[in-house]
Amino acid sequence: MSESIVNSNNKIISREALIEIFEAMHKELEEFKRIAAEEEKQNEPLKYEYQKWTLHYFSGNLSFTIYYTDNHNVSYDDYHKFITIFKSQSYLIDHIYVQYYMSYRKQYEDGTRDEHSSNRLSLSITEDKLEVTADLSSKDHYLEDTYNMILQTISSAPPKYDHIIKAKEFISFKIGLPLGLIIGAILIAVTVFVPQMRDFYHKMPYLLPALQLLIGVVTSIFIGSMRTSADYAKLIPKKYGGYDTNTKSSYYNDDLKKLTETSEVMIGSKSNNLTIRNGIAANEKSATKRIPISLGITIAICLISLLIVFLV
């Protein structure tokens, strides 16, 4: 396989997925080292013509360089030290560069010995991308299992532009609806104690539930926006939208193009994004369960208000 580059646009790459990739590289390299040591031991007492090798003159290394958000960097050749740091400090990491390399000389079944060969996998990881560069031998299949595992991990990763993003406005409205309906019903119900308003409702009773619904919807939009705007600001990039002459300030719109052309990797400022997404989904699910209850309470308030209108 010649050199190839793979990106992960519009994918959510969790910290757990990264750990699985790192672990696969580490385990594979350790297995190559074991095989090379075993072959060295078996072939040492034999004459050259009787030796059998798959990893002669083996050399392999897995290294990690972490670039932190405060502009300093640290390199690790010890996998266990690196993974401990990664698990505890992912929120401080700006960029990770991973270099997985092996070189060897192989004896094939026909007895011929190949020239020195090498295989290399490189990963460049930021909060906006996971880029994989592969330079693998076309004759051998070393590192291909790990390479394919990385491709599968990227392919099966959930999309960034998902229901949480696509239905942003609807989700915000739904989250605000249970409380907004009740507040709208109560605010309008209070007006029935004003004689002029009570007479107005007596003449046109349908306006009371209509006003309760209208105020409820407006209040729901406001409450939903208040509850979700901070979370969505962390999930969706912004782009300059223009200058508002009325408010005398610039305004910004959601940049969905940038969102779909980048990854969402759980490091740095995005280390908590998966928790944020799950929180929004949980709030939407909770709101869905509470909406029927709120509707019931709203209808009850409306009926009591109408009774007051016609009985007082």
Strands (E), 199-272: 238-244, 249-254, 264-265
108: region left, alpha or beta (phi > 0 left; psi from -120 to 50 alpha): beta
Say what the pLDDT of residue 277 is.
96
Low-confidence spans in the chain with pLDDT less than 50: none
Domain ranges of the chain: 4-156, 163-311
Say what the pLDDT of residue 118 is.
85
Say what the pLDDT of residue 304 is.
95
Written as six digits, the tokens of 94 are 């700006």
pTM confidence score: 0.85
Residue 243's DSSP bridge partners are: 250
Say what the pLDDT of residue 40 is.
87
> What is the C-alpha to C-alpha distance for residues 11 and 190, in angstroms, rounded to an integer?
50
Residue length of the chain: 312
CB 125 within 8 A of CB 141: no
Residue whose C-alpha is closest to residue 26's, from 99, 102, 79, 84? 79
Question: Within 10 A of 151 (CB to CB), how many other CB atoms are there?
Answer: 15
Strands (E), the chain: 4-6, 12-13, 56-68, 73-76, 93-105, 117-126, 129-135, 238-244, 249-254, 264-265
CB 1 within 8 A of CB 111: no
Beta-carbon contacts of 174 under 8 Å, excluding residues fewer than 6 positions away, are 224, 284, 287, 288, 291
CB 181 within 8 A of CB 298: yes
The pLDDT tens digits of the residues spanning 96-132 come to: 999 999 988 877 666 566 667 888 999 999 999 999 9
Say what the pLDDT of residue 3 is.
58
Say what the pLDDT of residue 306 is.
93
Say what the pLDDT of residue 108 is.
63
